[in-house]
Structure 1
């Protein structure tokens, strides 16, 4: 198992540089502590966590952790912009009156005990054969993975803040679950052994309810790599990839094209298949310095197959979207490889480079920690209708898991009632979670779920409370009403009672909808679908009088959709890696865990920025994930509203975060704001299709947002994020766009009075 390098990140800063930055930061803190509301004890001890030079701002971004008695205060990471030996901007997350808030400086339990306690609390089964591999420093260690983690386990003492505004001594450690579903950053109380804080470095993008329709039309084509140009390239010796090139968001947005040598020479100077920094490819498969793309059909995070382009690196594999995705696995994996590299190369130009914590095996001598290219899994078998991205600190490999999506069909005949007055065919819409209905065929009696109605729900047939007729459900098709609780909760409850499938009855008029699984949907393995209120209530009424037998027939369902072909979703997932490595610096990827965190918004926006096409207008509706959902390109996508500068299309305002779901709903509000700002900049400076070196408003917007991420501290909110963008404009453009930026945010309620 590769030892994670990020635990040594503190020592990556040279002594001379660290000393210079420490003196500058120390002087700033002492001179301004009264204004900052801090005591002398609060600024007496700190450490330089990481630093990187920003070309766009021409300064050093320095990230500082507050300490007490040699022990770091967790997530106190503060951002300092230092130029010519002076602090030109600072954003602090220091705690005041530290000495009065700490409970102790001496742990009562050991580091190895803390690992076992964390594993037990997480419900991890099996023996923990832990071995101490290295003592990094005082109270800082590296243990083996102990058969409980995909990676070795770093452990160190920190202080963890609590809701009661105290600081408790804790062991800070991380465990990557063996199935790859979660990469937990954990704090275990060093006195009581209780798990007191959990952050999941793996961001799982659970997509909400959105209507499906099946559409496979292609519209438009790439402006960066036109098909005619790609065809002429093919005569030139060099790597070739048949993909859906940006700005095409998906197969619905443009045709597949055979590209020749699309690697950017600045970001990937030795191409996409190099790892040694010497001319010539080290790999003939979809593997290189920036990403390893492979299948994980088994869902075990093992070594999957990667398509081989041969000595000529010609990755020209056919697509046939009318077949099941496994039939075009090589083509999908190639597109996944391409898009990860594109994200690397494009955002490298705007400061997501080696020093800032990007994802590369070899950093080519450009600072930062290497050995952390992306592990990108195509057709991952551990889930469906989803995608995720796990981002450990700099030096640890992130993992992108791209799943299959249920066929993008609208209502289709799924159910045949075989007896009684209701005999006939009924249409339904498959859920976006649970077992696949493609090719599924089952004949069994239907049974209406009954629960004790003891909770907040008032419907005894919605499975939101304790089921009382479990014996009757065993081996049968459960019928459940929509309402009150998440679809995943309902289906899992029926599954636990032995039901073999679920028919969900819509509780409102109109067509049935695709159901999202919510928090526990990933545990549901039985298939389920929704029928309309009219049909479902008729079935429920008949069940009260007689036995109803039905056949679920999935042979009419369209093939699954491969998320590895949805460039927008790939970009969204990669975007989580960008925002997590840039906010708080590359050595702390747990800085987007607060209620106002904007990670989902940045990811939506980063994906939209590389898929803007000439002729697009800000008022256009931009849905996210339309291809994966089986929608046409005009579809609404996975968010509550498509993105648009037109408030009648997207009415989001800052006030909406009071009731919006965290993080996806909150993030969509943030994305709406910076999307507005982007189009205001495009209106001012024009649109430049050169995503790498352009000077248009779109290029300016990307630079401002990424620099804003670098300038903000750990756990920023909307106001902090906005102010960081304003500061980036002052540093980059002498404040030329201050009014424009203010007006864009104020339009959606984030004006001067916002707090």
Structure 2
């Protein structure tokens, strides 16, 4: 749960044992931030999960791909051939899974397999620009042993074991058969099933040994986050409501937000309390949602509840629209019921449970794979009287929604690739950084403290404000050596990105139209492009170092490296210089910077 220096419940663990460099040796203890995650579940069960360290190579202007001179120009075949040659493995061990594309690059996502059965989280991603390979991330392994490919435990028995272990029920999502890599690089065969407990707010992907019947690992999908609303650039009700006419960006939401004349429900999101039939109706004809919030009354007061559902609907739709503009669209695994024939899997709009009864002083977001709805739960906060509603603090809603963005984009829509301790920490950091970006109103870069409204304190609920001043926020990359909780680690990453943002805005200025116009050259536009682009370049379960390198390569891809030195100086100012390694600070920058 949240304490005063922690933001929402942690980006939950993953239990998928992705692999990393192709090595037969166990992973050293020094890499535990990248490879392990320990979590105690609500029913008292504890899992320590293992994720073999991933790797990322970036290639600047790019390498010729293996089929560049052949008659075939199929990037799927080129990606498979590149991976087999780069890792010196058989072609039968690699399978193309899916593609995604932005306006400048195409990403091929591949899986490692044995006997045509995929390895859970043993994935590779190859990025192409102008028919050249610009980056390669992977988490493939060379197993020391591998289980038989035919199960001896039935899927029905596996489901029963998972339901008992995880205190929930099978949700009828089709089970799969996948291999899972363990810490000693042995590989077990598993039935993979989804288990949910709606009352407790839990949602797991369970990996059940298909020969022993033991639950050997889990992925926890839950990340612990005209309309009269709080405008997106404002923080909370303390900054005032405003009636906004027609806020939908039709380039991102072509049928608008309330495309069927309905209450707080549409193609991108539905907000409700209790059940999905309990939405907020229009206050007047023509999609009018005008409700007067009364701060002296409890959140359950009808006008306050309607204001909360309306505000959450507005914020989630707004984030949908501006992240769509920067590349989080249908083909790149976003959340929509109707994908309009533009790729990806539909029927997965975000569901937002406002004033959810399963908790207090918190919020969370459950991110399943593309094609299943993201589930946001917003709680009440009892630090004040009357209580306060997290749905009325925009940075909380943006934070939680961003878990869906990052979990979908890293790893190509599987929602399995931010589940290690360090990568999960970056997930928390990205969520704070997105909230930080969304609330800027000028070229000024003031300190930013999330969570001020719900606890009624200007200090918010982080250890330090995010700041360009080391005296205000002293956190650096080296602090990871003493931190072992995702929100603490996330504070380091969010503060680094706050400094990156300040450097880019300082160099290029600020655009007031960045949320609807991604074509500008201003620093906040550049920052959001690199934010979204870099996510698609990262390997499964990235580290701070591979994430930094992905930002540098993303700038090469989109801006021909124009911001290379600006980025390096900003990263180095917080310890992520050229020679940073093993959670030891370095402030050096490349020659020429």
For the aligned pair, the TM-score class normalised by the smaller chain equals 0.7 to 0.9
Task: Give a deviation string over 1:130-189, Cα, whole Å, max 9, x none.
Answer: xxxxxxxxxxxxxxxxxx24x323211111111112111111221222226111011111
Residue among 382, 402, 416 paired with 1:406: 382
Aligned 1:275-286 pairs, distance under 5 A: 282-286=260-264
Aligned 8 A contact 1:185 1:200 in 2:
yes
Cα distance between partner residues in 2 of 1:76 and 1:615: 42
* Aligned equivalent of 1:54, options 75, 83, 102: 102
The answer (yes or no) to whether the contact 1:153–1:175 under 8 Å persists in 2 is no
Q: Does 1:609 align with 2:432?
A: no
Superposition map of 1:520-669 within 5 A: 558-586=385-413, 588-597=414-423, 598-614=426-442, 616-617=444-445, 620-631=446-457, 635-669=458-492
The alpha-carbon deviation at position 310 of structure 1 amounts to: 4.7
Shift of 1:81: 0.7
Q: Which residue of 1 aligns with 2:313?
A: 337
**Which residue is equivalent to 1:67?**
113
Tell me the residue number matched to 1:36. none
By how many angstroms is 1:407 displaced? 4.0
1:388 aligns to what? 364
Q: Helix, strand or coil for the counterpart of 1:258?
A: strand
Where in structure 2 are the equivalents of 1:87-126 lying within 5 Å? 87-95=133-141, 97-98=142-143, 100-124=144-168
8 Å contact from structure 1 (residues 24, 85) kept in 2: no
Structure-2 residue corresponding to 1:25: 79
Rg larger for = 1
CA pair 115-21 structure 1, distance change in 2 beyond 3 A: farther
CA deviations on 1:411-455 (whole Å, 9 max, x unpaired) are xxxxxxxxxxxxxxxxxxxxxxxxxxxxxxxxxxxxxxxxxxxxx
Q: CA distance change for structure 1 residues 368 and 336 in 2, over 3 Å: closer, same or farther? A: same
What are the Cα deviations for residues 198-227 of structure 1, in whole angstroms up to 9, with x where unaligned? 12101126xxxxxxxxxxxxxxxxxxxxxx
Who is 1:4 aligned against?
Answer: none
For the residue of structure 1 that corresponds to 2:431, the secondary structure is helix
The Cα shift of 1:309 comes to 4.1
1:509-545 residue CA offsets vs partner (Å, 9 max, x unmatched): xxxxxxxxxxxxxxxxxxxxxxxxxxxxxxxxxxxxx
2:273 is matched with which residue: 284, 288, 295?
295
- Tell me, yes or no, if structure 1 residue 348 matches structure 2 residue 324: yes
The answer (yes or no) to whether the contact 1:284–1:311 under 8 Å persists in 2 is: no
Contact 1:241 1:316 in 2 (8 A): yes
- Distance in 1 separating the partners of 2:378 and 2:79: 42
Give 1:286 deviation, angstroms.
0.7
Q: Using the TM superposition, give the Cα deviation of residue 305 of structure 1 relative to its aligned residue in structure 2, in angstroms.
A: 3.3
Q: Give 1:30 shift.
A: 3.5
Equivalent of 2:240 in 250, 255, 275 = 255
Q: Counterpart of 1:270?
A: 255
Q: Which residue pairs with 1:445 in the alignment?
A: none
* Contact 1:242–1:316 under 8 Å retained in 2: yes
Whole-Å separation in 1 of the counterparts to 2:558 and 2:185:
37
Give 3-state SS (helix, strand or coil) of 2:175's partner. Answer: strand
Q: Which has the higher contact order (CA 8 A, sep 6+)?
A: 2
Q: Report the alpha carbon displacement of residue 295 of structure 1 after superposing the two structures with TM.
A: 1.4
Query: Cα offset for 1:698?
Result: 1.0
CA RMSD of aligned residues (A): 1.7
How many residues end up aligned between the 2 structures? Answer: 503
Is the 1:389–1:399 contact (alpha carbons within 8 Å) kept by the matching residues of 2?
yes
* Cα offsets for 1:617-658 (capped at 9, x unmatched): 3xx321111111112xxx221111110010111100111112
Which string of whole-angstrom CA distances, capped at 9 and with x for unpartnered residues, describes residues 205-263 of structure 1?
A: 6xxxxxxxxxxxxxxxxxxxxxxxxxxxxxxxxxx1100112111122x2211111010
- Alpha carbons 1:286, 1:293 under 8 Å: kept: yes
Residue 40 (structure 1) aligns with: 89
Q: Does 1:378 align with 2:378?
A: no
Q: Distance in 1 between matches of 2:73 and 2:541?
A: 26
Q: 2: distance between equivalents of 1:93 and 1:347?
A: 27
Q: List per-residue Cα deviations over 1:344-400 (Å, max 9, x = no partner).
A: 011111101111111111111111111111111111111111000001111101111
String of CA shifts for 1:656-694, please: whole Å, max 9, x gaps.
Answer: 112224211111111111111111000000111212214
Partner of 2:512: 689
The 3 A distance-change label for structure 1 pair 615 and 695 is closer
- Which stretches in structure 2 are left out of the alignment for 5+ residues? 1-71, 582-593
Supply the distance in 2 between the matched residues of 1:753 and 1:641 (Cα, whole angstroms).
26
Query: SS of the counterpart of 2:578?
Result: coil
For 1:371 and 1:560, the matched residues in 2 are separated by 34
Write the deviation string for residues 453-487 of structure 1: whole angstroms up to 9, x where unpaired. Answer: xxxxxxxxxxxxxxxxxxxxxxxxxxxxxxxxxxx
User: Conserved in 1, the CA contact under 8 Å of 2:279 and 2:309?
Assistant: no
Shift of 1:735: 0.7
For residues 352-367 of structure 1, the aligned pairs below 5 Å read 352-367=328-343
Aligned-pair distance for 1:753?
A: 1.7
Alpha-carbon deviation of 1:22?
3.1
The 5-angstrom pairing of residues 183-198 of structure 1 reads 183-198=203-218
- For 2:533, the equivalent position in structure 1 comes to 707
Q: What is residue 11 of structure 1 aligned with on the other side?
A: none
Alignment of 1:82-481 (within 5 A): 82-95=128-141, 97-98=142-143, 100-124=144-168, 148-149=169-170, 151-179=171-199, 181-204=201-224, 240-252=226-238, 254-274=239-259, 282-296=260-274, 303-327=277-301, 328-408=304-384
TM-score, length of structure 2 as denominator length? 0.82
Aligned residue for 1:172, secondary structure, equals: strand
Please report the TM-score for the alignment, with normalisation by the length of structure 1.
0.65
